[in-house]
Amino acid sequence: MKYLIGSFLLLVSTSIVAQQKVTATYEGGDIILSYNPIKIAGTDTLVMNVYRKGNDGEKLIRANKKIATRTTVKFADTSVRNSPGVYQYILKIKKDTLTVDAESIWAYAFAPDVRPIATVFNAVNAKHTNNIILNWKISDNYWVKDIALLRSRSMDGKYQLISNINPQDTLYIDKVNDANEPFFYRLDMKGFNSDRVYSSASVVVVPQFPIIPYKVNGIKTEQRNKAIVVSWKNNNEFARGFYIKKRIGNAGEFEVSSPLIFKNKTGQYLWKDTLSSLKPREMYQYVVVAESNSFDLSKHSDTATISFGFGSQGIAPPTDLRILTANDTTYSLVWTVDSLRRQEISGYQVYQKRKGETAFRLLKDGYTDNQINYLTIANLKDGDAFQVKSIGVNKESIPSMTFVYKNPFEREFGPTYLKAAVYDNVLNIKWLKDETLKVKVYKLYKWNGKAFMLIETVSPDKDAVATRSYVAGQLNIYQLKTVDLAGVESVGSKPLQVN
């Protein structure tokens, strides 16, 4: 095809100078050829053969046709009505057996208002690989001269060219280096008779495949006042973040001690292990593990060992606060204490903060002695927050980590069932509104294989949403959650599965 296009450009440039003798015009599905014969003295008739070249090869469509030299010859090629495309016509003129003239011209055998449409455009992640299989079907593809495949990391972001595609191809395999993140694809098409670009709708795919980060190197530890500082440098391209693991002494399993520490641009990291989780005159060992976007972990880093030498340690606060109930009528706040240091503690103080309040207050009768690690809570409500302090002689601990009570039965409100329909690759989800419920916003979540992720936020006056997150042929699971005027989010609707 590239050779044909090159020949076409050469012939066009030649015809501008030489005033070519043949023209080709599209009329109602046919190509009308017009030829002004060469004039030869003493000759009234000549013989003409007409050939047509296209994707189906070269064909003789007029053989040994006698033509008069005094008049312009016209004839219609009607065989292209059912085979639209771009064709080259070659006219060979003979007198007896001698070729006296040869002309050629290109013709577009389709209407000038024809436009390409990607009626099918799919992107699928091959299971457990980083291959994205893209396939498409373009209507009126005979019109297409160039196809460009583009990719972006967001629907509204900048698309970058990843390949120029042969117009006859309908499949491409892309390789990506990130998992559990969206990739958006688009086709840009140009035709033979215009430089205008026609773009397909975008398709999105979230690939899921294992990405194993590299092992972290260069971990260091040092004591700074009442804390142990763990630091390291890392430019791991496959890591999205890091965890710190530690153990006491040099035996036993390492346990996760930090939340996920997200990757930053500097490549330098620091984490503090504070006094509340350290004991004086103990030896600690630390390792760092990297986590990728596929949630796979690297091997442990080399082990860093340090002895904690702080001697005058303060009282540690209680840990692991939670609510227990035996009969669904009496609720108790319980906590865990360090039994090895109980002799330093004379009792505990319990503080509460109701939903909407800004400060914790000491509960009435909110004191227990050091032998009791629980307190019965009256009138317990969803969203109540609690802290507990350890009390010693002339000193007290810092507050414990805050515990917030969640009552799922107080969060069962909003739509329960969802309905869905797909129009033009757009998923429309509808629900039944409760007119008596005051709603702040609706939130639509989609399952990514590990958790429900927020994809759409809908105003309270709506009872439907259209989302382009739907991928045909894959498992699509949605859930709608309702947020009331107090900011409480419901437990959500029944999950909706759309294949």
Tokens 């009331």 appear where?
484
Residue 215 inside a domain? The answer is no
Tell me if 190 sits within 8 A of 196, measured CB to CB.
yes
Alpha-carbon Rg of the chain, whole angstroms?
38
CB-neighbour burial class of residue 140 (10 A; exposed 0-12, middle 13-18, buried 19+): middle
pLDDT of 60 over the 80 cut: yes
The count of other CB atoms within 10 Å of the CB of residue 195 is 8
pLDDT of 485 over the 80 cut: yes
Share of the chain above pLDDT 70, in %: 94
Dihedral sign of CA atoms 84, 86, 88, 89 in order: positive
Instruction: Give the count of domains, the chain.
Output: 5
Concatenating the DSSP letter of every residue in 3-27 gives HHHHHHHHHHHHHHHHT-SEEEEEE
Higher pLDDT, 74 or 226: 74
Residue 284 inside a domain? The answer is yes
> Beta partners for 147?
165, 189
- For residue 91, give both structure tokens: 């006219």
pLDDT digits (tens, 9 = 90+) for 346-405: 899 999 999 889 999 999 889 999 889 999 998 888 889 999 999 887 778 889 999 998
| pLDDT value at residue 1 | 41
What value, to the nearest 5°, has the Cα angle with vertex 384 and ends 382 and 388? 145
Q: Are residues 19 and 88 in the same domain?
A: yes
What one-letter code names the amino acid at 386? F
The residue among 280, 308, 336 that closes a domain is 308
pLDDT digits (tens, 9 = 90+) for 257-286: 999 999 998 889 999 998 888 887 788 999
What one-letter code names the amino acid at 477? I
- For residue 178, give both structure tokens: 């990130």
Tokens 């035709």 appear where?
191
| pLDDT value at residue 312 | 52
Q: Are residues 289 and 226 in the same domain?
A: yes
The residue among 84, 109, 134 that closes a domain is 109
pLDDT of 16 over the 90 cut: no
- For residue 219, give both structure tokens: 């971990």
**62/78 Cα distance (integer angstroms):** 12
pLDDT of 17 over the 60 cut: no
pLDDT category, 20, cuts 50, 70, 90?
low
Q: Are residues 235 and 288 in the same domain?
A: yes
State whether residue 232 is helix, strand or coil.
Answer: strand
pLDDT digits (tens, 9 = 90+) for 410-420: 677 889 999 99
Q: Are residues 372 and 350 in the same domain?
A: yes
pLDDT digits (tens, 9 = 90+) for 115-134: 778 889 999 999 888 999 99
Helix (H) / strand (E) element for 183: namely strand 183-191
Q: Are residues 96 and 124 in the same domain?
A: no
| Range 154-181 average pLDDT | 89
Share of the chain above pLDDT 90, in %: 37
pLDDT digits (tens, 9 = 90+) for 76-104: 888 888 888 888 899 999 988 888 899 89
Concatenating the DSSP letter of every residue in 309-349 gives ---S--PPPPEEEEEEESSSS-EEEEEE--GGGGGG--EEE
**174/126 Cα distance (integer angstroms):** 11
SS3 content of the chain, % helix, strand, coil (to 5): 5, 50, 40
Residue 267: which domain range? 220-308
The count of other CB atoms within 10 Å of the CB of residue 234 is 22
Tell me if 240 sits within 8 A of 258, measured CB to CB.
no
> Beta partners for 57?
54
- For residue 71, give both structure tokens: 């008049």
Residue 359 inside a domain? The answer is yes
| Range 28-48 average pLDDT | 88
| CATH code for the domain of 104 | 2.60.40.10
The residue among 153, 177, 205 that closes a domain is 205
Q: What is the DSSP letter of 234?
A: -
Long-range contacts, stretch 262-265, CB < 8 angstroms, 24+ apart = 263/236, 263/239
| pLDDT value at residue 228 | 92
Tell me if 228 sits within 8 A of 273, measured CB to CB.
yes
Residue 282 inside a domain? The answer is yes
Residue 415 inside a domain? The answer is yes
